[in-house]
């Protein structure tokens, strides 16, 4: 399954400083709740845009639970599950900062993100309700509500996955309740 690992660095610093090597897994397995059962189990690479909007490759740390054999990967929080453009760039785009280089470079794909978020918004609102501590919006856009509740899209992404197993775009199997996954 996939977890969101809090990282305050940019994607390029995450890469050059090899932060994936420093990832510390949770003390209990998110799938079976066994203590101290997660052990390093290699890595995988994926693409994400950097703060200039260019596509770079990053490495994601992966662990194996020796108790239930579930693999757990820790996606850095600047990266969105199954989305190429990083969270800060998406955030800037949704806030109308269209002059930024990173936004301009990825404008077409960002338009598709916005459409997807708007289509999924009713499901997201129904799933989360007032669970973020702020009443859900009565009208779009949904990201203003998310930012008000969580402070940033990056923080929101992590909180949505941890608390509700959902993202702004859709539900993913990899975030589901562990017992249904492994």
Residues that bind Zn ion (CB under 5 A): 29, 31-32, 34, 65, 67-68, 70
Q: Which is nearer to Zn ion, 2 or 89 (CB)?
A: 2
Q: Which is nearer to Zn ion, 56 or 68 (CB)?
A: 68
Provide the H-helix boundaries in 23-137.
87-94, 101-105, 107-128
Least distance in Å: CB of 72 to Zn ion?
8
Least distance in Å: CB of 86 to Zn ion?
30
Report yes or no: 149 and 82 within 8 Å, Cβ to Cβ: no
Closest CA to 14 of 51, 54, 56, 58: 58
**Cross-strand pairs, 71:** 64
Q: Which is nearer to Zn ion, 35 or 119 (CB)?
A: 35
Q: Which is nearer to Zn ion, 29 or 124 (CB)?
A: 29
Closest CA to 46 of 5, 6, 13, 79: 79
Least distance in Å: CB of 27 to Zn ion?
12
Question: Is it true that the peptide bond before 153 is cis, omega within 30 degrees of 0?
Answer: no
Least distance in Å: CB of 46 to Zn ion?
23
């Amino acid at each position: 399954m996939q977890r969101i690992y809090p990282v305050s660095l940019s994607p390029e610093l995450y890469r050059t400083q090899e932060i994936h090597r420093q990832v510390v897994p949770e003390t209990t397995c998110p799938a079976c709740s066994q203590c101290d059962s997660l052990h390093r189990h290699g890595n995988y690479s994926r693409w994400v845009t950097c703060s200039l909007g260019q596509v770079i490759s990053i490495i994601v740390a992966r662990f194996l639970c020796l108790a239930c054999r579930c693999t757990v990967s820790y996606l850095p929080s600047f990266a969105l599950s199954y989305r190429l453009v990083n969270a800060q760039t998406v955030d800037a785009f949704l806030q109308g900062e269209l002059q930024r280089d990173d936004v301009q470079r990825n404008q077409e794909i960002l338009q598709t993100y916005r459409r997807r978020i708007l289509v999924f918004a009713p499901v997201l609102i129904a799933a989360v309700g007032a669970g973020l501590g702020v009443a859900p919006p009565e009208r779009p856009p949904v990201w203003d509500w998310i930012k008000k509740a969580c402070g940033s899209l990056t923080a929101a992404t992590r909180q949505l996955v941890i608390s509700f197993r959902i993202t702004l775009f859709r539900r993913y199997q990899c975030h589901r309740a562990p017992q249904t996954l492994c």
